[in-house]
Amino acid sequence: MTDCKTVVDPKLPEASVLYLPAGFTAPPAVQKLQQDCKVQVKNLPIAIHGPGEVDTSTFAPHGLLYLEHPYVVPGGRFNEMYGWDSYFIVRGLVENGRMDLARGMVENFFFEIEHYGTFLNANRTYYLTRSQPPFLTGMIMAVYGAQKAAGKPDNAWLAKAYQYASKDYSMWTREPHKAGLTGLSRYYDFGDGPAPESIQDESGEHRQAMAYLASHPEFCLEVRSGTQRGRTRRAARPRLHDRSLRCRDHHGAPACEPKTTVHFTSEFYKGDRAMRESGFDVSFRFGPYGAGRITLPRCA
């Protein structure tokens, strides 16, 4: 993270910022970035102990979060280290004997947990609201196992890793990631509204989602009733609001005018963000455009 090609944002080069943890002194090589790369170097406004503690909408602009060690990125359009992508990368590095690089990437996740509150989706400011699938222990054991197989088990490092793994585990076993009394965990993003990367990187994705949902009446608002232990349970699906659909003609029959204003509900964005914590890109894996069973309101 002391190389201009790494730190300058390939998606927004004119507004490249590198953020350090609150109170963290910039290493000399990082200080040099400001002169060599025209990159702003700033400290985060507060110390972070968990996801969602910082309102990410206050960052202007968003930027890369500093990590101590080199890392491998999953593709040429990124310069941030991703969560579950790194699991497969670390396994590949270990298989190819690149132990220093593999261990350094795991150490970077320790740094994230200590300074940014959790194992992040990726080291960018707009990812401070969510994690990714809990593969940290898999990466730890891949590195430790390779070291042990080479006759160099580092038990002190494993003991240190255990502390970070325990903190990561505890996030998944308490609210809001804990899914009630089911014994399961769920994906959850602490942020609200559209995910910043969807606006910056996924040109037209929301417009395409709106167009698809508006043209598929099978996703009309549905209130399903069911009986559980003698009680009626009603579950309203999240909806896409469109005021222009709520109309009747002068005889009282349903008659919808051309659409005027359309916006997604807060539930849509929560579902979209949770899908992103799962590690999957936008698809129909979790319903239309990855946000669950999103529905349109009926004409009323």
* Domain boundaries, position 261: 196-290
Pair (23, 148) in one structural domain: yes
pLDDT of residue 90: 98
156 occurs within a structural domain: yes
For the chain, how many structural domains are there in total?
2
Give the amino acid at 203. S
Distant-in-sequence, close-in-space partners of 175: CB < 8 Å, separation ≥ 6: none
Longest dimension (CA), the chain: 85
Pair (200, 282) in one structural domain: yes
Rounded to 5 degrees, what angle do the CA atoms 51, 54, 60 make? 130
pLDDT of residue 297: 36
297 occurs within a structural domain: no
pLDDT of residue 258: 53
Domain-terminating residue out of 172, 205, 233: 172
pTM (predicted TM-score): 0.81
269 occurs within a structural domain: yes
For the chain (300 residues), the mean pLDDT of every run of 10, in chain order, is 79 78 93 86 95 90 93 86 96 97 98 97 96 96 97 97 97 94 94 82 74 68 36 38 49 55 75 88 79 45
Pair (150, 212) in one structural domain: no
Pair (216, 259) in one structural domain: yes
